A and B are shown apart, each in its own frame.
Chain A
Amino acid sequence: KAGVTQTPRYLIKTRGQQVTLSCSPISGHRSVSWYQQTPGQGLQFLFEYFSETQRNKGNFPGRFSGRQFSNSRSEMNVSTLELGDSALYLCASSLGGAGTEAFFGQGTRLTVV
């Protein structure tokens, strides 16, 4: 069974640009969550999608958005990039029920210059 796949692995963008990251969950998993990982703030929850609907959202500005497709693949978009958006963005897939295990992808390393 294939694991969680994130693309691209690395990205370099300029301030003010926008970026789209992709996550393909484990087959059969309907929930995809996104996290931002930085040395200073650690792992922070961005949002979760389940069956194409956003179920919950963390404390991030509206520049961060996402969506989920009917095949459970998810995309995350960040508009008007700021230097502080430089981070490792991780997605995690799970079956989606209460207390179900979440498995992470390898992440997309975003650098904003």
Chain B
Amino acid sequence: GENVEQHPSTLSVQEGDSAVIKCTYSDSASNYFPWYKQELGKRPQLIIDIRSNVGEKKDQRIAVTLNKTAKHFSLHITETQPEDSAVYFCAAKSGGGADGLTFGKGTHLIIQP
């Protein structure tokens, strides 16, 4: 089955700086890669996703890049703000839609004022 590795487990950045979280996956059949943000005591919220036919996607301060050859994808947050503090999870899903999401272990992002 699919295996997703996520790094780092904790990331502390100064407010206004950029943050990058990286994930690798093992199943070459995976073709959908969402990112979720989970604040303490709340549900995971989808913040951005990318499909395998696209190399990069951007939504305001958030961007995701995908390298299918190397089987890794990354989340980039620019101009970080205090409200970006949360745990971020990457996930991968293989084709056909019948498989569940396989999640990374999460990255605790801390924005230092």
Q: Which residues of A pack against B, CB within 8 Å? A: 31, 33, 35, 42-48, 50, 55-56, 58-59, 90, 92, 96-107
Judge whether B100 and A47 touch: CB under 8 Å.
yes
Do B49 and A104 touch across chains, with their CB atoms under 8 A apart? no
Give the tally of cross-chain contacts (CB within 8 A): 66
Query: Which of A55, A92, A98, A105 is close to B32, meaning CB atoms less than 8 Å apart?
Result: A98
Interchain CB contact under 8 A, A103 and B46: yes
In the bound assembly, the distance between CA atoms of A44 and B95 in angstroms comes to: 19
Chain A residues, CB < 8 A from B34 = 101-102
Residues of A within 8 A of B91 (CB): 43
* Chain A to chain B: the 6 pairs with minimum beta-carbon distance, closest first: A45-B100, A99-B32, A98-B97, A43-B103, A55-B98, A104-B43
| Cβ contact within 8 Å between B45 and A104 | yes
- B contact residues, total (Cβ < 8 Å): 27
- How far apart sit A105 and B95, CA to CA, in the bound complex (Å)? 24
8 extra A-B contacts, CB within 8 A, seeds A31-B97, A106-B42: A42-B104, A48-B98, A48-B99, A98-B32, A98-B96, A99-B31, A104-B36, A105-B43
